[in-house]
Amino acid sequence: MTNTKVTRKALLLSAMSLLLCISMLLGTTFAWFTDSVTSSGNRISRRIR
């Protein structure tokens, strides 16, 4: 009886950990692809001696 409870608890914790990792991966991917940056007026100059 005790072994079954331990196994069930370990399985539940594993499933919760997996769901947390997947949700963090999806959140990071969403943030990566929805981020936008605009920049204007930048110049690359080179000093000639």
* 3-41 confidence digits (pLDDT tens): 899 999 999 999 999 999 999 999 999 998 998 888 788
CA distance 20 to 23: 5
pLDDT of residue 1: 57
* Radius of gyration in angstroms for the set of CA atoms belonging to the chain, rounded to a whole number: 25
Single-letter amino acid, residue 47:
R
11 or 2: which leads in pLDDT:
11
Torsion of CA 15, 17, 21, 26, to 10 degrees: 50
Integer Cα distance of 36 and 34 in angstroms: 6
Q: Which of residues 42 and 20 earns the better pLDDT score?
A: 20
- Please state the domain extents for the chain: 1-29
pTM above 0.75, yes or no: no
